[in-house]
Amino acid sequence: MREGSLDAPIRHPIDWNNPEYYDLNKIEDEMERVFDICHGCRRCFNLCDSFPTLFDMIDESETEEVDGLDKGEDYRKVVDLCTLCDMCFLTKCPYVPPHEFDLDFPHLMLRYRAAIRQQGEKNADAERLTHTDRNGKMAAPFAGIANWAAKTDNKLTRPIMESLAGIDRRVDLPSFESKPFTTQAKNNVPMVNTDAPAHGRKAVIYATCFVNYQQARTGTAARKVLAHNGVDTQVVYPGCCGMPKLEQGAVNEVAEQALKVVPVLLEWVDKGYDVISLTSSCSLMMKFEWPLILPENEQVKRLAQHVADIDEYMVDIAKKEGLAEGMNALDGGVTMHLSCHARAQNMGQKGAELLKHIPDTKIDVLERCSGHGGTFGVLKETFDAAVKVGKNTARAAKRNDNEYVASECPLAAKHILQVMDMEGAENIPDSAFHPIELMAKAYGL
C-alpha cells in the first residue's frame, strides 16, 4: 500500500441514475471511511470550514475517533460547510483515485445532498437563488428598484430580505442589468482588427447567467479585446450551466441544463467556432462536471473538448499567434486572485499569465479560496463561515495595497473586497474586475 499518490487525479462518473447512489446508510458508511482517512492525514485543515469542523468534533468526542461522531447531526455539519470548490481533491488530498483509498470528498458531499434532496429536504432560501435565469429575467425590467433594494445600507429592505429570503443583510450583493448582455451585444458589435496576428479565429461566447444578467461589462470587455486581437465573435446564452443547482445536490436538473445548452453550442462548433466561457464556474461545469454526470453522451464529451475559459483562450492566442500591440501599463498594480473553480480546471494560472502580458505592471497572485462559494456566501446561516474562510485572502490583498483586485470569479472578487473592508483596509478599490476587463483597460478599449 502506498502512503500517497503522485499520479494525476482521475474522477469517477457520478452514478446518479443508480438507486444505490441515494442510499443514505451506504453514504454514511462511506463518509465514516473517508472521514477516518481524513482524520489520520489532516493535510486539508486550512481549506474550507468542513475540515477543521470535522477534526474539532473528532478531537472533542468521547473516543477521539470518527466512531465518536453522531452520523446524523455531526456528519450533516461537515456537509453543510462544503462549498464544492474541489480544492481538497485537486490540490491537497494524496488519496484521490487512482490511489486505492479512492477519496473524492466533494463528490461524496454532493451525493449526500442529492440523497436528502430526493427524500424531500430542500433549503428553500438557497433554492430560490439557484433559479438564476428566472431571477435575472424578473429583475431586468425593475433593475433600478431591485438594485436600490439590494444596497447594504438600505435599512428598510435588507432586514426584510434577510427575514423572508434568508439573505444576510451584510452581504454586498451584485446588481442586475436592465438589459441582458445578449441584448447589449446585438447593438454593439466591435470591429474586428484584420491586422492582428490571430485574425481568422472565430469564437462563440457563452454569456453565462452572471454576465448576462448581472455583469455585462465583463462580456463587453471580452468581446472588445477579442475583436482587437482579430477574433470574430458571436454571443449566445441558451441557459444556466447548472452550477447553483449542483451545489444543492440537484444532479438531475444539472443534466437537464446540460442537454439544453450543449446542442446550441455544438451548432457553432460545427461552423468552425471555438467556445468561450466568461465565468470560471461555468467553464468547469462544461469541461468536467457535465461529462461526469452524462458520461455516455457523446455530444457532451465533444463540447468539453472545445470549451475554453476566456483567460485560457487569450493565453492560447498569446502563445500561438501573439497578442495585438497597444497595451499600456496599469498604474498601481493588480492583486490577482486565482479562483477555486479556475484552479479546478487544471489549466494553470491563466488569469495571472494573461495579466503578465500587460507591460510594466505589478501583479501579485493570491492562490487561496475567497470563501464565497456561491449561495454559501450569501445566506445568513453561512455568511459568517464564508467571511472566516476568506479572511486570509482578504488580508493578503490588503497587504498588497494595489490599485486593482481581479478574479476569474466575479462573486469571489466582490467578496474579497467586502472582507477587506471588514478587516479595516484603507485603500479598497471601488470595484473588483475580471482579468479580461483589465486587459481591455490596458488596451484603452
- Would you state the pLDDT for residue 375? 85
- Main-chain dihedrals φ then ψ at residue 37, nearest 5 degrees: -65, -45
pLDDT of residue 8 exceeding 80, the answer is no
> Considering the chain, what is the average pLDDT of its residues?
92
Comparing 6-15, 148-157, 195-204, 212-221, which segment has the lowest mean pLDDT?
6-15
Q: In the predicted model, what is the mean pLDDT of residues 313-318?
A: 96
Domain contains 423: yes
* Cβ neighbours for 99, distance < 8 A, ≥ 6 positions apart: 2, 4, 5, 7
- Would you state the pLDDT for residue 43? 86
Q: What is the C-alpha to C-alpha distance for residues 319 and 203, in angstroms, rounded to an integer? A: 17
Q: Are residues 209 and 309 in the same domain?
A: yes
Q: In the predicted model, what is the mean pLDDT of residues 240-253?
A: 94
Give me 103's grid cell.
477519496
- Would you state the pLDDT for residue 2? 59
Q: Are residues 65 and 153 in the same domain?
A: no
The last residue of one of the domains, among 303, 319, 335, is: 319
Q: How confident is the model at residue 342 (pLDDT cuts 50, 70, 90)?
A: confident
Q: Rounded to 5 degrees, what angle do the CA atoms 388, 278, 178 make?
A: 90
Comparing 33-47, 144-158, 181-195, 305-319, which segment has the lowest mean pLDDT?
33-47
Please give the residue range of the domain that contains residue 156.
124-165
Domain contains 113: yes
In the chain, the number of structural domains is 4
Q: Are residues 280 and 363 in the same domain?
A: no
Q: Are residues 389 and 413 in the same domain?
A: yes
Q: Are residues 74 and 196 in the same domain?
A: no
pLDDT, tens digit, for every residue of 101-139? 999 999 999 999 999 999 999 999 989 999 999 999 999
**Is the pLDDT higher at 46 or at 4?**
46
Q: Are residues 136 and 83 in the same domain?
A: no
Give me 247's grid cell.
451545489
Q: Are residues 439 and 340 in the same domain?
A: yes
Q: Looking at the whole model, is its pTM more than 0.75?
A: yes
Q: Are residues 286 and 189 in the same domain?
A: yes
* Cβ neighbours for 276, distance < 8 A, ≥ 6 positions apart: 203, 204, 205, 206, 222, 226, 233, 307, 308, 309, 310, 313
Domain contains 412: yes
Q: Whose CA is closest to 41, among 27, 60, 30, 54?
A: 54
pLDDT of residue 1 exceeding 70, the answer is no
Q: Are residues 96 and 223 in the same domain?
A: no
Q: Are residues 131 and 104 in the same domain?
A: no
- Would you state the pLDDT for residue 337? 93
pLDDT, tens digit, for every residue of 171-190? 999 999 999 999 999 989 99
Q: What is the C-alpha to C-alpha distance for residues 194 and 207, in angstroms, rounded to an integer? A: 24
The last residue of one of the domains, among 319, 348, 378, is: 319
Domain contains 8: no
pLDDT of residue 343 exceeding 60, the answer is yes
pLDDT of residue 3 exceeding 70, the answer is no
- Would you state the pLDDT for residue 226? 98
CATH number of the domain to which 377 belongs: 3.40.50.1860
Cβ atoms within 10 Å of 137's Cβ, excluding its own: 13
- Would you state the pLDDT for residue 241? 95
Asked whether 203 and 316 are in contact (CB, 8 A), the reply is: no
* Cβ neighbours for 327, distance < 8 A, ≥ 6 positions apart: 357, 358, 359, 439, 442, 443
Q: What percent of the chain has pLDDT over 90?
A: 74
The last residue of one of the domains, among 319, 336, 369, is: 319
Q: Are residues 352 and 304 in the same domain?
A: no
Domain contains 172: no
pLDDT, tens digit, for every residue of 285-312? 999 999 999 999 999 999 999 999 999 9
Polymer length in residues for the chain: 445
- Would you state the pLDDT for residue 325? 93
Domain contains 10: no
Q: Rounded to 5 degrees, what angle do the CA atoms 59, 63, 64 make?
A: 20
Domain contains 176: no
Q: What is the C-alpha to C-alpha distance for residues 215 and 409, in angstroms, rounded to an integer? A: 12
Domain contains 243: yes
- Would you state the pLDDT for residue 5? 61
pLDDT of residue 6 exceeding 70, the answer is no
Asked whether 245 and 209 are in contact (CB, 8 A), the reply is: no
- Would you state the pLDDT for residue 4? 58
Q: Are residues 339 and 305 in the same domain?
A: no
